[in-house]
Amino acid sequence: MAEVISTNPSTGETRSLGFAESSDDEVLAATRRAANAFDDFANRPLSWRAGLLRAMAEELEGDAANLVELAHAETALPTARLEGELRRSAFQLRFFADVVTDGSFVDATIDHASDSPMGPLPDLRRVRGAIGVVAVFGSSNFPFAFSVPGGDTASALAAGCPVVIKAHPAHPATSVATFAALERGAQRVEAPEGTVNLVFGFNAGTTLVDAPSVSAVGFTGSVGAGLALWERANTRSVPIPFFGELGSANPLVVTASAADERPTEIGTGLAGSMTLGVGQFCTKPGLIFVPRGESGDALVAATIEALSSLGTFTMLSSGIADHFRRGTEAIGAISGVRALVQADAGGDAHAAAQLYEVDAARFVGRDAYALREECFGPVALIVRYGSTSELRDALLATEPSLTFSLFCVENDRDSRWLLELGAQRSGRVVVNGYPTGVGVSWSTQHGGPWPSTTSSAGTSVGAAAIERWLRPVTFQSVPDELLPPALQENNPLAIPRRVDGILQHKN
C-alpha cells in the first residue's frame, strides 16, 4: 500500500508518516475488533459511558498545543480558529456525556399488561439500543470537530457503538494524534479493546463500508464521495444506514425592506461569513438574493469593499484550491454573470475571495445549473431580483440545503412566506444572522433535505445526532431481571420514561 503522506498546504512540503495506508485485511481486522468490543461496550452503565466521553475530552485538551500545531501545519487554518475548534470538540464530547446521563435518548417506554378494545395486551417495553459498529468518515475542513474526535465519533460512542474511523487524507498526522488522545481516554476508563479504531486510505474507505461487521456509516464530505459510498452502503448484501452530510449552496435572502434599512451592515457581514474558514464551511452562504435597485447596490458595494481588503488565503489542500478555481471559472463563464471581485491568488493551495452577480431571471435558466451548485471556498453569487415572484422562482430553483438565511425587518411583509419556504427546503432557518457557525446544543439540526444530506431525518450535530446510531427493540412479557436496566420496573437508571402513556421525569 502507498505510504501515508502529510502535506503542508501553505508550503507544499510533504512528509511521510512512516506507515502505509490500511490494507483490506487491516480494515476488516479493525471492524472485527470493534464488533468484538460491541457487547461489552454497549452494555456498560450509562454513567461509565459518560465517563469515557469526558476522559476523551480531557485527553484532547491536555494535548491541545500539539494538536493545534499539527492541524495548523496540515490545514493552514489559523491557530485561533483551530484552538476554538478543539475546544468545541472537547465540549461536544462532554455535551454527549450529558445526553447519555440524561438518558431520554433511549426512549424507554413501558406499557403494563392491560385490557384493550382488542382484548388483553401483554406487558410491552420498548427501548432504543446501540445499532452496532459505526464507520466514521472525517471531513477535510474541520480537522477536529468533524473528524476523528468529531460529532459522529462522539455521538456513536454515546449511543454505545464502537467506531472505526477513516482518517481524511488532508490531515493524517492530526488524525493520528487526536486518535491517540481518544485511545488514552479509553484506556483510562478501561474501555474494551477495539472501542475506537483508525484506518487510512481511499481503498480503506470502500472496504470499510463493505465490511460485514459495520452496521452504519457517518460521513461528512463532498457530494461525489458521499453519494458513491451511500450507493455502496445500499448495495451490500445487508444494506446499512448511511448518514451523509454532503454539500449545500445555502441561500441567503435579503428582503427589500432589510436592504433599505441596513445595506452596509448586511453586505459587510456577508463578506465575513462567506470567507470564514476560507469559505470552506458546508454552511457558507453561497447564494445571496438581493433586491435590484439602490439599496441592493449599496449592499453589494459594501460586500465588495469588505472583500477587497482580505488578501489571499491558503486553502486546505491544492486539490481543494484546484476545485475552487474550476468552480469559479464555471460560474464566470456563464453568460449574464458579472464578476464583481475576481483576484488571481496564484496556484497551489492559494485562493482569493470572489464575488459574482446575476439577474434572477438568468439564474433559473436550465443551462445555468453551475450557478446553483455549491462552490466550496470563498465565493458567493449575488442573485438580483426585481419582484417577490422572481425571488420565489429563483428560490424554488435552488436545491434544498442545510441552511436558509433571511434578513428582514420587523413586521416585514415578506418574512412569513420566506420562512415557510426556507423551512420546507432546509434543515435550519436563520433570521438576521449568517448560517456559518453551528452551535452544539439540544436544539441543533445540521442536516437538510436531499441532496444536502442523504437522510433528512438525521443530524450530524447536536443531541439528536445520537439517534442515528440506535435501533428500537420491544420486550414482551420479559421477567424484570432479564430486562435491560432502562426498562426494569424500578427504573434503576433514573431516566425519563413513558409509562402507560404518561411521560415521567426521572425517579
Task: Please report, as residue ranges, which positions from 468 to 487 form the binding site for a second copy (by CB under 8 A).
Answer: 470-479, 482, 484
8 Å CB contact between 171 and 74 = yes
Q: Compute, in degrees rounded to 10, the torsion defined by CA atoms 454, 457, 458, 462.
A: 140
Q: What are phi and psi of 438, to 5 degrees?
A: -120, 105
Residue 450 lies near a second copy (rule: CB under 8 A):
yes
Is the CA virtual torsion 221, 222, 224, 227 positive or negative?
Answer: positive
To which residue does cell 456513536 refer?
156
Name the residue nearer to a second copy (CB basis): 377 or 400. 400
CB of 194 to a second copy, least distance (A): 17
Residue 276 lies near a second copy (rule: CB under 8 A):
no
Pick from 504, 505, 492, 502: which is nearest to 45 by CA?
492
Residue 326 lies near a second copy (rule: CB under 8 A):
no
Tell which one of 29, 63, 91, 180 touches a second copy (CB under 8 A).
91
Tell which one of 192, 319, 449, 485 touches a second copy (CB under 8 A).
449
Site for a second copy in 384-423 (CB under 8 A): 410, 415-416, 419-420, 423
CB of 155 to a second copy, least distance (A): 14
Residue 124 lies near a second copy (rule: CB under 8 A):
yes
Site for a second copy in 197-256 (CB under 8 A): 234, 238-241
Cell numbers at residue 497, please?
420514561
8 Å CB contact between 408 and 262 = no
Name the residue nearer to a second copy (CB basis): 326 or 413. 413
Transcribe 213-268 into DSSP letters: TEEEEEEES-HHHHHHHHHHHHHSSS---EEEE-----EEEE-HHHHHH-HHHHHH
Residue 31 lies near a second copy (rule: CB under 8 A):
no
Contact letters (x/-) for a second copy, 487-506, by CB under 8 A?
A: ---------x-x--x-x-x-
- CA 459 to chain CA centroid, Å, is 7
Q: Which of 59, 245, 374, 399 is catalytic?
A: 245
Residue 265 is a catalytic residue: no
Piece in contact with a second copy (CB under 8 A), picked from 146-154, 217-225, 243-251, 434-442: 434-442
CB of 14 to a second copy, least distance (A): 32
Question: What number of chain residues touch a second copy (CB under 8 A)?
Answer: 78
Cell numbers at residue 347, please?
496556484
Pick from 403, 421, 505: which is nearest to 461 by CA?
403
What region, left, alpha or beta, does residue 452 occupy, with left being phi > 0 and alpha being psi -120 to 50 degrees? alpha
**Where would I find the beta strands (DSSP E) of 305-353?**
312-314, 338-342, 350-352
Q: What are phi and psi of 352, to 5 degrees?
A: -130, 155
CB of 126 to a second copy, least distance (A): 4
CB of 320 to a second copy, least distance (A): 25
Half-sphere exposure of 195 (CA within 13 A, CB side): 30
Name the residue nearer to a second copy (CB basis): 110 or 358. 110
Residue 44 lies near a second copy (rule: CB under 8 A):
no
Residue 79 lies near a second copy (rule: CB under 8 A):
no
Name the residue nearer to a second copy (CB basis): 46 or 337. 46
Piece in contact with a second copy (CB under 8 A), picked from 147-155, 364-372, 383-391, 435-443: 435-443
Residue 429 lies near a second copy (rule: CB under 8 A):
yes
Q: List residues bridging with 403 in a β-sheet.
A: 428
Residue 131 lies near a second copy (rule: CB under 8 A):
yes
CB of 444 to a second copy, least distance (A): 6
Name the residue nearer to a second copy (CB basis): 386 or 484. 484
Q: Which of 161, 282, 375, 408 is catalytic?
A: 282
- Please report, for residues 14, 30, 70, 305, the alpha-carbon distance to residue 170 in angstroms, rounded to integers and kept in the order given: 11, 22, 12, 32
Cell numbers at residue 115, please?
385490557
Is the CA virtual torsion 459, 463, 466, 470 positive or negative?
Answer: negative
354: amino acid identity, one letter: Q
CB of 502 to a second copy, least distance (A): 9
Residue 444 lies near a second copy (rule: CB under 8 A):
yes
Tell which one of 76, 77, 274, 464 touches a second copy (CB under 8 A).
464
Name the residue nearer to a second copy (CB basis): 367 or 481. 481
Residue 282 is a catalytic residue: yes
CB of 94 to a second copy, least distance (A): 9
Residue 443 CB-density burial (10 A; 0-12 exposed, 13-18 middle, 19+ buried): exposed
Tell which one of 51, 129, 149, 201 touches a second copy (CB under 8 A).
129
Residues annotated as catalytic (active site), given as ranges = 245, 282
